[in-house]
Structures are given as structure tokens and as C-alpha cells.
């Protein structure tokens, strides 16, 4: 196995990586994904998520057309997207593959645009794509600015935990290993041109997530207990969708995938991972500040 670090907004880099790796399957997970950063610097999201995806599609189409027939027929381009492209839900609705796109922030708009480009490559060029739209992921190695690692890091260090608005915004949480297994399933069994929504149907408000983490830390790291005293409600961010939730019937019924990982058990495991990897967290945060 060889790792090539390339900038997908640079087409020459992509061409070289494809030439060196000669892929049969491409999982396209590369993306700018932090909504706060998208609000501050939307052009970065245009360049990575839209132009980067376009570059991949252009280069891979040329590569795919030259493959021998057996490799060409087995080739797959799996484009990993998000449920945020669908916008915001009311109290009782659910996202499905039939939900109209309604992005409400620059990140969601950039992912929606990339989804549309990917889909058009199937209809225009018969390029064998599959799109997945997943709910919020959590687990080890997640960037420390994301909600769950941010809360763990701040609370365990006795720092304020910022909460947007009233904390009642609801997200549908998916453990990273569940997501990986779903993507492999989609690659093996999914049909080119189709989209599949991925979720383990674990809806929690931001406030509930934070309180769960605080309760676990109260038991495991009692020095700063009660950790909920660190919660600091701040002004809500622009375009903050109220609720996301997926009903993943298609991937369950058509492909036989279902979630295997208990939410609270693997949230606890995730907490311990971050507590045991503080040096990695600090190094990533420092590098991020230098890159700004």
C-alpha cells in the first residue's frame, strides 16, 4: 500500500496519483467539512469540494475510458456526501434518497454542487458513480474542532464548552466504523447511478450530547466535576439547521446493511480515545492555527 498526499484542487496532482495507483475503485471522501470555517472562508470550500470533485471526475473519466473492458465494467467511483445537502427538518420528517436538495450554508451548498456534478457524469458519460449521504460521524481521529472531540477536549481541560443558541439543534449520529462498513457494502452491492442514505438512527440534540459527555467525564475524570458547569451558551451561527435525521430504508432493504455499533458504548470508547491521545489533539490544533 502506498500513500500519495495530493491537493485535489490541483489537476496535475490528481493525474499523477491516478497514473501511479491505477485504481479499480475510488472512494472520494476528501472535503472541507467544518461549517464554521465555510461561513468565514467559503472560497476554500468551493475550491476543495466543487473544483476538487470536478477535477477528479475529469481525470478519472479519461482514465476509465482507456481501461480494458473487464476493469472498466467493474470500476466504481463512490462519492461520499452528507445529509446537510437536504437542509433542515421539522420535528417528524426524515431525509431519504428522494428528499429535494435545500442547502442552507456554504459547506452544504458546496457538497450539493459536487453531488450534482457526480450524478451528471453518470447520465452524460455513463461513468459508474454511486453517491452516499451520511449523517454526522463520530469516533477516533476526528478533527478536534468538531462537536464531540471539542467537548471532550474542553471539558477534560476545564475550559468552557461553547453551545450555539439553545443547544436543541438535533443531529443523527453515526459511528465511524458503521460508516466504513456501509461504504464497503455500497461498493460491493450498490448500483451505479444510485444514491444511498446512511444512518444508524441515533438522534440527539447538541445539548444531550454534551450532557452525556459531561456525565461520563464526571465518573472517569472527577477532578473538574461537575463538567456541565463549563457549558457556555453563545449566539447561534448563521444558517444553523435545526434538525437532521435519516430513514435509511434503501440501504437496509436493498443492500442488507444495518448499524452494529451501540451509540453510548462507542461514545464512551471515543471519549477514552481522546483522553489517551492528548498529544495528537494538541499537535493537530497547533497545526490548524498555523495554517489559518
Calpha distance 217→152 (Å, rounded) = 8
Is 125 domain-assigned? Answer: yes
Is 37 domain-assigned? Answer: yes
CB proximity list for 112: less than 8 A, separation 6 or greater: 85, 101, 103
The pLDDT profile of the chain, 292 residues, written as one tens digit per residue, is: 789 999 999 999 999 999 999 999 999 999 999 898 999 999 999 999 999 999 999 999 999 999 999 999 999 999 999 999 999 999 889 999 999 999 999 999 999 999 999 999 999 999 999 999 999 999 999 999 999 999 999 999 999 999 999 999 999 999 999 999 999 999 999 999 999 999 999 999 999 999 999 999 999 899 889 999 999 999 999 889 999 999 999 999 999 999 999 999 999 999 999 999 999 999 998 887 766 5
Is 193 domain-assigned? Answer: yes
Pairing of β 136-138 and β 170-175: parallel
Please confirm, yes or no, whether 236 is among the known catalytic residues: no
Is 178 domain-assigned? Answer: yes
Share of the chain above pLDDT 90, in %: 91
Query: Tell me, what CATH number does 55's domain have?
Result: 3.40.50.720
Please pick, among 107, 175, 196, 244, the residue that the annotation labels catalytic.
Answer: 107
Is 128 domain-assigned? Answer: yes
Please pick, among 15, 65, 84, 91, the residue that the annotation labels catalytic.
Answer: 84
Number of neighbours of residue 155 by Cβ within 10 angstroms: 26
Helix (H, G, I), strand (E, B) or coil at 34: coil
Is 8 domain-assigned? Answer: no
Please pick, among 32, 83, 178, 241, the residue that the annotation labels catalytic.
Answer: 83
DSSP state of 58: H
In the structure grid, which three cell numbers stand for residue 266, read together?
462507542
Is 7 domain-assigned? Answer: no
Please confirm, yes or no, whether 84 is among the known catalytic residues: yes
- Please tell me the total count of domains within the chain: 1
Query: What is the DSSP track for 84-107?
Result: GGG----SS--B-TTPPP---SHH
Calpha distance 121→193 (Å, rounded) = 9
Please confirm, yes or no, whether 168 is among the known catalytic residues: no
The parent domain of residue 68 ranges over 16-291
Amino acid at each position: 500500500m502506498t500513500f500519495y498526499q495530493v491537493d485535489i484542487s490541483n489537476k496535475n496532482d490528481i493525474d499523477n496519483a491516478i497514473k501511479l495507483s491505477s485504481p479499480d475503485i475510488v472512494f472520494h471522501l476528501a472535503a472541507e467539512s467544518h461549517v464554521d470555517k465555510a461561513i468565514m472562508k467559503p472560497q476554500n470550500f468551493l475550491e476543495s469540494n466543487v473544483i476538487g470533485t470536478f477535477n477528479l471526475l475529469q481525470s478519472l473519466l479519461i482514465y476509465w475510458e482507456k481501461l480494458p473492458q473487464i476493469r472498466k465494467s467493474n470500476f466504481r467511483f463512490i462519492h461520499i456526501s452528507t445529509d446537510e445537502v437536504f437542509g433542515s427538518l421539522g420535528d417528524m420528517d426524515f431525509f431519504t434518497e428522494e428528499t429535494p436538495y435545500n442547502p442552507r450554508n456554504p459547506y452544504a451548498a458546496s457538497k450539493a454542487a459536487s453531488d450534482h456534478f457526480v450524478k451528471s457524469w453518470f447520465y452524460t458519460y455513463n461513468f459508474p458513480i454511486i453517491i452516499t449521504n451520511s449523517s454526522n460521524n463520530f469516533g477516533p481521529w476526528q478533527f478536534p474542532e468538531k462537536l464531540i472531540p471539542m467537548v471532550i477536549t474542553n471539558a477534560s481541560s476545564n475550559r468552557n464548552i461553547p453551545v450555539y443558541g439553545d443547544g436543541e439543534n438535533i443531529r443523527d449520529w453515526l459511528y465511524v466504523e458503521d460508516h466504513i462498513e456501509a461504504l464497503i457494502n455500497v461498493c460491493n452491492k450498490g448500483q451505479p447511478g444510485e444514491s444511498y442514505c446512511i444512518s444508524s438512527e441515533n438522534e440527539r440534540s447538541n445539548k444531550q450530547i454534551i450532557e452525556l459527555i459531561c456525565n461520563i467525564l464526571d465518573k472517569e475524570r472527577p477532578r473538574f466535576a461537575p463538567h456541565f458547569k463549563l457549558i457556555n451558551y453563545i449566539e447561534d451561527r448563521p444558517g444553523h439547521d435545526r434538525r437532521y435525521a435519516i430513514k435509511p430504508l434503501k440501504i437496509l432493504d436493498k443492500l442488507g446493511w444495518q448499524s452494529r455499533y451501540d451509540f453510548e458504548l462507542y461514545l464512551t470508547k471515543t471519549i477514552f480515545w481522546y483522553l489517551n491521545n492528548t498529544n495528537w489533539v494538541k499537535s493537530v490544533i497547533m497545526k490548524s492555527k498555523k495554517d489559518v
